[in-house]
Amino acid sequence: MAEWSGAKRFYKEAGVIGVADGLLGVGLDGRPVKTPAGSNLAVSSWSLADAMVAEWAAQSETIDPYSMPLCKLSATVIDRLSNNRDEVVGFTLMIAETDLLCYRAEEPADLVARQQESWQPELDWAKQELSAEFTVTVGVLPINQPENALQALQTALTELDDFQLMGVSNAAAAAGSLILALGMQRGRINAVAMFEKSVLEEKYQMEIWGEDQEILERHERVRADIEDSAKFLELLAS
């Protein structure tokens, strides 16, 4: 999508059009939009295609690709993920090896309690629903997670189609937790809950020491990535 950055809007209307293989693409004055690699920007979901069209229709005189996250995610699937699926599964699984939920504070007691209250139910869910029992530690030194737990999450990832995998991987990378991302994809938690759980410790620290502008700006990026991923997954399912 970067090649559109700064370009003048050259079309009057955006709409859903049929393209090859029964897929639905974005048409600008009837002409199909292409991905950076030259493929049709096309999906099987009408809801997602319509939402991508809305992103193009909302452009002003100058095209801003960063305001089109659904198009960007879809283009990434088409150009990169579909031909490198195993690599994406492997990268996403690496997030689980150091999953945020497994690294707890030793003190103070109220932070320990907040982490236990917010994070432990998600680990319990992963154990019950995904047969993935993870080890919890105190501190930040990496630990090896049980192989059967990682294998269970790998199975969950391989069961996703390419577009679902993109949404889960993007959310997991933003939050630092594959468990939270799978929970969101399966409807256990929503985007707001996922974001709040992912920034719990940093928000606690800012309650004590005051707000940090760099952290707040990073939180907004994390929030946006999680919300975009959630919308992407929701549209795929509708």
Alpha-carbon gap, residue 28 to 15, rounded angstroms: 7
pLDDT reported for residue 238:
86
Q: Is the pTM of this model over 0.75?
A: yes
Which architecture does CATH list for 2-67?
2-Layer Sandwich (3.30)
Segment 210-222 mean pLDDT = 97
- Altogether, the residues listed in the chain come to a count of 238
Say whether the peptide bond before residue 146 is cis (omega within 30 degrees of 0): no
CATH for 85-237 is: 1.10.3580.10
When pLDDT is cut at 50, 70 and 90, the band that residue 20 belongs to is: confident
Per-residue pLDDT tens over the stretch 78-97: 999 989 999 999 999 999 99
Residue 26 bridge partners (DSSP):
16
Q: How far apart are CA 194 and CA 214, in angstroms?
A: 20
Residue 38, both tokens: 């030259």
Residue 33 confidence (pLDDT) above 90: yes
Domain boundaries, the chain: 2-67, 85-237
- State the pLDDT at residue 4: 63
- Work out the pLDDT band at 7, boundaries 50, 70, 90: confident
Q: How far is the C-alpha of 72 from the C-alpha of 170, rounded, in Å?
A: 11
